[in-house]
Amino acid sequence: MTAEIQYLGNLRTESTHLQSGKVIVTDAPVDNHGLGEAFSPTDLVASALVSCKLTLAGIAANTHAFSIAGAHGSVLKKMGTDPRRIVGLDVQITFPAALTDKQRAIVEHAAMTCPVRYSIHPDIVLTVDFQYA
């Protein structure tokens, strides 16, 4: 097992990662009958995509003996209706400006091959913008 999830009532859940004991609470968003006081389940999908991309870029950087310390990302989740679902994810990832062209190619390729990306339904419009600052 990877996690145990408990329904806490009031459209809130608590997920416990069994290996580490770390806990994540989710809450339904305000536009879907919730309080919006924590990540929604679809927020976690969106966030997982960026976390995965940064993690794979970090693995690639480590493999090639350079650092991406300070890299960060953001994501805009777009929701659709009928059925309610994620219809788009706009991702922005910023890497350190000091990376060479070769290093940039390495981290961008790695970020584009993360497993979460391949787990997202192909109907979801995904845009990824890499920046260097």
Query: Torsions phi, psi of 68, nearest 5?
Result: -115, 25
9-56 per-position pLDDT tens digit: 999 999 999 999 999 999 999 999 999 999 999 999 999 999 999 999
pTM of the model: 0.95
Question: Which residues are CB-contacts of 2 (< 8 A; sequence separation ≥ 6)?
Answer: 17, 18
Q: Specify whether the CB–CB gap between 95 and 71 falls below 8 A.
A: yes
Pairing relationship of beta strands 85-95 and 72-80 according to DSSP bridges? antiparallel
77-119 per-position pLDDT tens digit: 999 999 999 999 999 999 999 999 999 999 999 999 999 999 9
CA distance 48 to 45: 5
Q: What angle do CA 66, 93, 32 make, to 5 degrees?
A: 140
Position 133 confidence tier, pLDDT thresholds 50, 70, 90: very high
Residue 116 pairs with which residues in a beta bridge?
none
